[in-house]
Amino acid sequence: MEELSKTQWLEKIGVVSEAFKNTLILETWRQFQKDLYSCGLETAEFKGNYVDELFDFTFNYIKELDGAKLQDLLYRVDIPESLLINCSMEEGYFEKLTDLILNREAMKVFFRSHYRS
């Protein structure tokens, strides 16, 4: 798997307006929080509005989950098992996992916004 940066999940969205990117960060957080709640998990409110802050917050949160709760969350977020297998064999597991989660959550937000119009 290629080296991932803290902002790669947002860059994968493509060329969109700066205003949409700012909204996307907040909406991605809301989608992540919604998936956490649906798994019976709760978290403190995210107060930032920068990509790096969201990455760090998500990274620290998932790093503290026990195995069963993390598996439930990954199932709810809908991370393909093939990506998880590749991710688990590499160094920086939680960084890569965070990128996968945020990428998937951002895609949910993007597609919901795109097809709502």
pLDDT in tens, 10-58: 565 555 566 777 788 889 999 999 999 999 998 777 777 678 888 999 9
Whether pLDDT at 6 is above 90: no
Domain that holds residue 32: 17-116
Within a domain: residue 53?
A: yes
* CB atoms closer than 10 angstroms to residue 58: 23
Euclidean distance between CA atoms 55 and 97, whole angstroms: 11
- What domain count does the chain have? 1
Q: What global pTM score does this model have?
A: 0.79
% of the chain exceeding 90 in pLDDT: 38
Inter-residue contact 58 to 25 (CB < 8 Å): no
Within a domain: residue 2?
A: no
CA distances (Å), origin 48, targets 17, 19, 28, 57: 19, 16, 12, 9
